[in-house]
Amino acid sequence: MATLVLLLLFYLFHLQLDVLALPASSDYNFSYMKSVYNAIDLPAKELYDYIVIGGGTAGCSLAATLSEKYSVLVLERGNVPAAYPQVLSANGTLSNLIQEDNGKTPAQRFRSEDGVANARGRILGGSSMINIGIYSRAEDEFYRESGIPWDKDLVLKAYKWVEETIVFQYNLSAWQSIAKQALLEAGVVPDNGFNLNHIVGTKATGSTFDDKGRRHGAVELLNRGELKNLQVAVEATVERIIISNKFPSKDSSLTAIGVKYSDSKGRTHHAFVRNKGEVILSAGTIGSPQLLLLSGVGPVPDLSSLQIPVVHHNPYVGKFMADNPRNNINIVVPFALDPSLAQVVGITSEFNYIETLSYTLPFSFPIPFGLFPNAISPLNASLATIAVKIQGPLSSGSLRLASSSEVRVSPIVRFNYFDNPIDLARCVKGVGKVGDVLKTKALEPFKTRDLQGRESFMFLGPSLPNNQSDESAMDKFCRASVTTFWHYHGGCLVGKVVNGDLRVMGINGLRVVDGSIFNRSPGTNPQATIMMLGRYVGLKMLQERS
């Protein structure tokens, strides 16, 4: 079963900086539009220093950085945010998920073979334009286990570059203040105040929404680039990476020299890179392994079965796909409660995180994709959701192509939730902590009185087992109520598909820079680290060429 509103909890939320360095509330900055073109207006053939496939959470910061010194083409399959005004405000967050997927909407739906409804960003700015905005940095273990030889000083500089542009602190809403008190009462301590670092306890964290509810996603990082060197093509669907054997080096006989893409009218374009240039895949956890496979890079058996010519054998492309399970309960609130996106995070010492939000569903409200279990109907009520995310996870699956030639056909993905028993044990502990939260004085006013005068919580969807010491019952709850946090990752892992510099092994001039390289989801919410990654890799690439 899915659950409730945490589809509203669409994806992403995320070491500390001086609060004074955060920007004040500001209007939208659409300066980047000077560099944006519809792909139909681009030439059939063009030459650049760098080509970035995907103008998403990592791609925008990467492209902006590279454009400081070089010409950059960004190819984004979606449209600009202004084409979908609801993505620009907190009030429109749920609307993104209500829209029927017509092939152009900002949220592209897919369902994994596990039966869990999911979605990915299809808009300039990527999933940072459809998530709930939480910004919190990665934990120390993430860096140690990533396989990347991080320059910690540069990491911090990259984070701050993002934060001084699009990250905000604002006052907690009524529900978020209550949720914070409940977490502290339940033992998720200490109170860490406002903090961007990943540390055990309860904290308020940053947001890409300002105090007026305006979203400032990764797309606004493009404004930090040299716009005259930047060309951003929207509605540009990359179909294949062009890989040649005519430019061998001591490292490989293969080199990525360009891409083939199509515009919204179906016309084919080719873009190529100059000498010393590179093609960078930033198409996301689903898109990057998919494009490698369509370009003939991947396991020989998988490619041969689809009659895709093998360019380079790599048995790990599309493997180790993981998604952090989400399990939550949804309290029907007996009074009107203002909507609030997540601002407070509880980080426990038992490998799980707790986040909350509140919202109102009118009786006639359409059921958003993946928001409710199939048997649930919405009510005219205020609702408060308390959700658990487990760290990692350790369970993983794989991605394979559903079409040998059409990139618009979503690949087939399986995540194997709770396949590793450690993940299930972590879920049980996390759900148990939610039970502790429900027993706090802070949440007493949220109970409903029945006709006999007895007070208890009213739930929409699954409720916790009555006996939370019954491990079997808790196991069943975790399995039955599992859905997604939209923090899926893997498919192009460091050490398997790319090296520590994120270069695709065996192919010159090709890198992957997005969440597909991660072996675990960073922090409570990954978007901070993914935006940092784009800036960080861009700076490293500039250093290499200098």
Backbone angles phi, psi at 341, to 5 degrees: -80, 165
Measured CA to CA, the distance from residue 502 to residue 334 in angstroms comes to 51
Q: Residue 112, Cα to own-chain centre: how many angstroms?
A: 16
Give the number of other Cβ atoms within 10 Å of residue 98's Cβ: 17
How big is the CA angle at 109 (ends 106 and 115), to the nearest 5 degrees?
160
Amino acid letter at 45? K
Measured CA to CA, the distance from residue 348 to residue 481 in angstroms comes to 21
Dihedral sign for Cα atoms in the order 332, 337, 340, 343: negative
221: left (phi over 0), alpha (psi -120 to 50) or beta: alpha
Residues sharing a CB contact under 8 Å with residue 543, sequence separation 6 or more, in sequence order: none
Q: Which two tokens stand for residue 167?
A: 């990250």
Residue 451, domain member (yes or no): no
Residue 28, domain member (yes or no): no
Orientation of helix 59-66 relative to helix 152-166, angle to 10°: 100
Helix/strand/coil for 96: helix
pLDDT tens per residue across all 546 residues of the chain: 333 333 333 322 223 333 335 776 668 999 999 999 999 999 999 999 999 999 999 999 999 999 999 999 999 999 999 999 999 999 888 777 777 889 999 999 999 999 999 999 999 999 999 999 999 999 999 999 999 999 999 999 999 999 999 999 989 999 999 999 999 999 999 999 999 999 999 999 999 999 999 999 999 999 999 999 999 999 999 999 999 998 878 777 999 999 999 999 999 999 999 999 999 999 999 999 999 999 999 999 999 999 999 999 999 999 999 999 999 999 999 999 999 999 999 999 999 999 999 988 764 444 454 444 444 444 568 999 999 999 999 999 999 999 999 999 999 999 999 999 999 999 999 999 999 999 999 999 999 998 888 999 999 999 999 999 999 999 999 999 999 999 999 999 999 999 999 999 999 999 999 999 999 999 999 999 999 999 999 999 999 998
Amino acid letter at 424? L
Q: Which two tokens stand for residue 91?
A: 């009030």
Give the helix/strand (H/E) hosting 260: strand 255-262
Q: Which two tokens stand for residue 237?
A: 């669907």
Residue 334, domain member (yes or no): yes
Domain CATH number, residue 508: 3.50.50.60
Which DSSP letter does residue 20 get?
A: G
Q: Are strands 255-262 and 268-281 parallel, antiparallel or unpaired?
A: antiparallel
Measured CA to CA, the distance from residue 118 to residue 326 in angstroms comes to 12
Residue 472, domain member (yes or no): no
Measured CA to CA, the distance from residue 495 to residue 109 in angstroms comes to 30
Measured CA to CA, the distance from residue 241 to residue 283 in angstroms comes to 12
Assess contact for 62 and 288: CB atoms under 8 A.
no
Assess contact for 127 and 59: CB atoms under 8 A.
no
Give the number of other Cβ atoms within 10 Å of residue 488's Cβ: 27
Residue written as token pair 């079409």: 403
DSSP output for 347-389: E-TTSEEEEEEEEEE-TT----TTTS-TT----SEEEEEEEEE
Give the number of other Cβ atoms within 10 Å of residue 313's Cβ: 14
Q: How far is CA 148 from CA 200, 292, 495, 517, in A?
A: 24, 21, 9, 10
pLDDT given for residue 379 in this prediction: 52
Residue 31, domain member (yes or no): no
**Radius of gyration (C-alpha) of the chain in whole angstroms:** 23
Q: What is the residue range of 160's domain?
A: 5-14+38-421+482-545
pLDDT given for residue 343 in this prediction: 96
Measured CA to CA, the distance from residue 341 to residue 263 in angstroms comes to 36
Count helices and strands (H / E) in the chain.
10, 26
Residue 111, domain member (yes or no): yes
- Alpha helices for 99-151 (secondary structure H): 140-145
Residue 448, domain member (yes or no): no
Q: Which two tokens stand for residue 379?
A: 């009510």
Cis ω before 85 (30° cut-off from 0): no
**3-state DSSP of 380-408:** CEEEEEEEEEECCCCCCEEEECCCCCCCC
The residue count for the chain: 546
Q: Which two tokens stand for residue 333?
A: 């609130």
Beta strands in 409-488 (DSSP E): 412-414, 448-449, 455-456, 483-484
Which DSSP letter does residue 145 get?
A: H
Measured CA to CA, the distance from residue 305 to residue 312 in angstroms comes to 15
Q: How far is CA 76 from CA 121, 150, 308, in A?
A: 11, 28, 24
Which DSSP letter does residue 519 get?
A: S
Tally of structural domains, the chain: 1
Q: How far is CA 188 from CA 184, 199, 200, 434, 464, in A?
A: 5, 11, 8, 11, 19
pLDDT given for residue 380 in this prediction: 63
Measured CA to CA, the distance from residue 240 to residue 206 in angstroms comes to 37
Residue 82, domain member (yes or no): yes
Q: Which two tokens stand for residue 222?
A: 């493009």
